[in-house]
Amino acid sequence: MSHYPFKALAAGKPPLIPVIHVENADHAEPVLEALVAAGIGLVEVTLRTTAAIEVIRRMVKLGSPAIIGAGTITRPEQFDAAVDAGAKFGVGPAFSPSLFEASRKTGLPFIPGIGTASEALWAREAGFYELKLFPAEFVGGIGWFKHIEPIYPDLIFCPTAGINAANAKDFLGCPNVFAVGGGFLAPRDRIEAEDWAAVESLSRQALAAIKD
């Protein structure tokens, strides 16, 4: 079995993952349509709202080319709920043995969060080679990746927190960074204002910035 199930799943998709916070399930379809129109192919719906599972379900039901995942997974039972809703991957801000077990039980590709070199080692020993550095900008940023790469050359990362359109390209320039995520692509205030044109524009700008 590949060490990098998410990387295989996301092959061909731009390496920008909007982490979206949606309070109203009726916003599921229009925000996804705006993101897809901009060229986004991966979407992480954070489970920090009561509407999140229904949002995932409604996004998946649209049948768009985007791959929908569940973020902020912190409890084992959230894996079953995410899979039932149709999520294709899961992301956590941290990890625990029970989360690892739930990931394996459901078969959902899981990107656990880490914040230190020790945590990266523990996750690798548990069989996880795709990790989320969180909160990335506040635990070392780009310098962290440069120092960790020769120690763990088989680990790859998706940093979040502190990532924006201005620095995403720099993070993606690190050989051990396979994607970046954040709320900057579809800000919560723009979603709540139902400003789908702004969501599409911000995402287009961010995608253009990593290509320049």
Positions marked active-site: 44, 132
Residues 6+ apart with CB under 8 A from 170: 142
- Beta strands per DSSP E along 40-119: 42-46, 67-71, 89-91, 110-111, 113-114
Q: Which residue has the tokens 């996880």?
A: 128
One-letter identity of residue 78: Q
Give yes or no for a contact between 111 and 136, defined as CB atoms under 8 angstroms apart. no
The candidate with the shortest Cα–Cα distance to 90, out of 105, 75, 103, is: 103
Give yes or no for a contact between 10 and 38, defined as CB atoms under 8 angstroms apart. no
Specify the length of the chain in residues: 212
89 forms bridges with which residues in the sheet? Answer: 69
d(CA 117, CA 151): 9
* Cis amide bond preceding 159, omega within 30: no
